[in-house]
Amino acid sequence: MTRLTMLIDVQRCIGCWSCNIACKQENGVPPEVTRNELFFVGPFGEYPDVKGYFLPRPCMHCEDAACVKACPTGRATRTAPGRC
Ligand code: SF4
Ligand code: SF4
């Protein structure tokens, strides 16, 4: 089975959890299980100059990934076969 590459631009992730919810809904994932982790990395710096970012970590197993389609910011895309 062809495995496509999923590219994630963490600068565009707003931490909305839509990818996680779409994955659960489309794939029947039970509440106590997740295939799409979402972390907050940080905070870095000192107040008032504090920064951090969200880090989504989908499993990347679906050929037609609900987590990619659900993202409102377009942070994730899939490449065509043979491209990176
Ligand atoms: S690739 Fe599929 S199973 Fe994996 S996180 Fe995305 S929607 Fe869920
Ligand atoms: S990757 Fe997209 S859908 Fe998932 S939390 Fe970030 S902005 Fe929301």
The CATH architecture assigned to 5-78 reads 2-Layer Sandwich (3.30)
Residue 64 has a pLDDT of 84
Would you state the pLDDT for residue 83? 45
Predicted pLDDT of residue 38: 95
Gap between the Cα atoms of 84 and 67, Å rounded: 19
DSSP bridge pairs for 57: 37
The answer, yes or no, to whether any atom of ligand 2 lies below 6 A from the CB of 10, is no
pTM: 0.83
Q: To test the ligand 2 pocket, which listed residue (16, 17, 55) has its Cβ within 8 A of the most ligand atoms?
A: 16
Q: Does pLDDT of 26 surpass 90? A: yes
Question: For the segment 43-63, what is each residue's pLDDT rounded down to a tens digit?
Answer: 999 999 999 999 999 988 888
First-to-last C-alpha distance (Å) of the chain: 17
Tens of pLDDT along 2-12? Answer: 666 778 888 89
Q: How far is the CA of 43 from the centre of ligand 1 (A)?
A: 27
Cα–Cα distance measured from residue 53 to residue 58, given in angstroms and rounded to the nearest whole number: 16
Q: Which residue's entry shows tokens 């839509």?
A: 18
Give the number of whichever ligand sits closest to the CA of residue 17.
Answer: 2
What is the distance in A from the centroid of ligand 1 to the CA of 21?
10
Least confident of 24-28, 41-45, 77-81: 77-81
